[in-house]
Amino acid sequence: MEITEVRIKLMEDNNERLLAFCSITFDDAFVIRDLKIIEGAKGSFVAMPSRKLTDRCPQCGCKNHLRARYCNQCGQKLDEDRATRDADGRAKLHADIAHPINSACREVVQSAIIKAYNEERERSKQPGYVSSYDELDEGPESYTSLIGDLNATKRAHSEGYRAHGAHSSRGAHSIRQPSEHDSPAPVSSRDDQSGEFGAGIL
């Protein structure tokens, strides 16, 4: 795979160690978001997206983060030193969601991200600078048409298949027009034709 895009979101200067968030795209087709660029003792490094590790309360079985001192459900006092530790004695509190599986891949990813970070810092000094990281929330315009094409293909191969409507940029479902194959909507005897808000509920 080839890294085709890296987007950086610089953090404010008051964040001592967290320098930026970033996303990385492979082959113009697969995006991983929420990687972090962190200032470490030996220089900047990239931290992969991760989730908090949890364990279960011995009394009620509720899940709690490993740093929790008391159970969120029953209030039972928890062992504060229950997290497993690495070879350096540091508690393992998070697990990577996505990560390279060998040092060569990690070096390629980290080099590309650090290079993009340095370039973004230079761009941020220019007037009218805007980060491109947040544009990923809108998604490419071709995504909706791609889903539409996939649904059309499924309809052609599956009799009676009704496709899920494509999402708009704000996440709402698009309105599907009824077809001649649809069953008529059931009519409730409680329907009120007044058109007022809440009509027909009671």
Give 6-15 pLDDT, tens digit per residue: 999 998 876 6
Average pLDDT over residues 126-132: 88
The pLDDT value recorded for residue 28 is 92
Domain boundaries, the chain: 1-49+97-140, 52-93
Q: Of 33 and 192, which is predicted with more confidence?
A: 33
Spatial distance between the Cα atoms of 17 and 20, rounded to a whole number of angstroms: 9
Spatial distance between the Cα atoms of 163 and 155, rounded to a whole number of angstroms: 7
The secondary structure of residue 171, as a DSSP letter, is S
pLDDT at 56 over 60: yes
Span of 37-41, 189-193, 197-201 with lowest mean pLDDT? 189-193
Average pLDDT over residues 149-168: 53
Q: Report in angstroms the alpha-carbon separations of 177 from 98, 153, 173, 180.
A: 40, 19, 12, 10
pLDDT at 102 over 90: yes
Spatial distance between the Cα atoms of 24 and 99, rounded to a whole number of angstroms: 12
Give 59-96 pLDDT, tens digit per residue: 999 999 888 999 999 998 998 888 888 888 888 888 88
Spell out where 11-131 has E strands: 18-26, 30-40, 43-47, 50-52, 54-56, 63-65, 94-96
Q: State the pTM of this model.
A: 0.57
CATH H-level superfamily of 1-49+97-140: Stage V sporulation protein G (3.30.1120.40)
Average pLDDT over residues 124-135: 84
Q: Of 171 and 121, which is predicted with more confidence?
A: 121
Helices (H) and strands (E) in the chain, counts: 2, 8
Q: Of 103 and 161, which is predicted with more confidence?
A: 103
pLDDT at 155 over 50: yes
Average pLDDT over residues 148-177: 51
